[in-house]
Structure 1
Amino acid sequence: MDKQDCIKYCLTQVGSVHDYQPLWEADRVKVGGKIFAILSDLNGRPCISLKCSPALAERLRDEYQDIIPGYHLNKALWNTLFLDGTLEGTLIKNMIDISYQEVRALLPAYVKKSLAAGESSKAIQ
């Protein structure tokens, strides 16, 4: 998966919004105003930073050479995945899903309710 594929997939999540932060030179994808994906380049390599549980973060870093502690982020909760090599698209999509769910779970109740309403109306269509 490249950066554009990742952004497209992120935007399939209910309530997700994409923007670009020039100061960071990075694309961001948010839900409820909170970032769940940051896409940038690190040392000339395209990458995506995603949130997950500390146990999963450690396990993935041990298992995959192209997953490192979150660049400029809380290293216990965020991983940076390089997009130019060995990582399978399925793994990247699963990690995007997990990051979205981790961030969504911490949103205020009224925001979660609004997102749930969006899911319901989407299911009806």
Structure 2
Amino acid sequence: MDGAALHEIAAQTAMGLPAVQETQPFGEGTFVYKVVGKMFVMTSELRGVPIVNLKCAPPHGAALVRDLAEVTPGWHMDKRHWITLSPGDGLDETLVEDLVANAYDLVVAGLPRAKRPIDPVRRTLPD
């Protein structure tokens, strides 16, 4: 997957989720995707290479870093809870979509129940 596709898929997937806002708190060219004010995805460039930072459960993130050259510990983030995706053949559209959705679910699960836009376990709107 090339860098343009990586950014596009991450952005489209994030914006397709309930209650997501796209912001640019770090300036032009860096997009942060938040749910109820909490960041779960960031797209930017590192030394001219498009990257995507995502929130990730530590065991899952460690396995991805171990198994895929395109996945590294989160650049400029907490290395246990964030991963960075870089362009390469090891990434495909489904994996990026799944990682963005998982990042969203992690953040939503950490929100107080009254503020959750969806039930993160059932992926439905709250009762």
TM range (shorter): 0.7 to 0.9
Please state if 1:48 is matched with 2:47: no
Cα distance in 2 for partners of 1:50, 1:24 equals 19
Residue 92 of structure 1 aligns with which residue?
Answer: 96
Task: Determine the structure 1 residue equivalent to 2:20.
Answer: 16
Moved over 6 A (4+): none
Aligned residue identity for 2:112? P
Please state if 1:63 is matched with 2:67: yes
Q: Which residue in the other structure is 2:113 paired with? A: 109
Q: Aligned with 1:5: secondary structure?
A: helix
Is the 2:6–2:96 Cα contact (8 Å) retained in structure 1? no
Indicate if the aligned counterparts of 2:13 and 2:101 stay in contact, CA closer than 8 A.
no
What is the RMSD computed on CA atoms of the aligned residues? 1.8
Q: Could you tell me the percent identity over the aligned residues?
A: 26
TM-score normalised according to structure 2 size: 0.83
Match of 1:123 in 2: none
User: What's the CA shift string for 1:8-31, capped at 9, x where partnerless?
Assistant: 111111111111124485100000
- Count residues in correspondence: 116
For structure 2, which runs of at least 5 residues remain unmatched after alignment? none
Q: How far apart, in 1, do the equivalents of 2:24 and 2:118 lie? A: 26
CA 1:24 to 1:68, structure 2 compared with 1: closer, same or farther past 3 Å? farther
SS of 2:88's equivalent in the other structure is coil
SS of residue paired to 1:21: coil
Provide the secondary structure at the position in 1 that maps to 2:100: helix
Q: Is the 8 A contact 2:9 2:96 kept in 1?
A: no
User: Higher helix share goes to which structure?
Assistant: 1
* TM-score normalized by the length of structure 1: 0.85
Matched residue, 1:38: 42
Paired residues of 2:35 and 2:104 also in contact (CA < 8 A):
yes
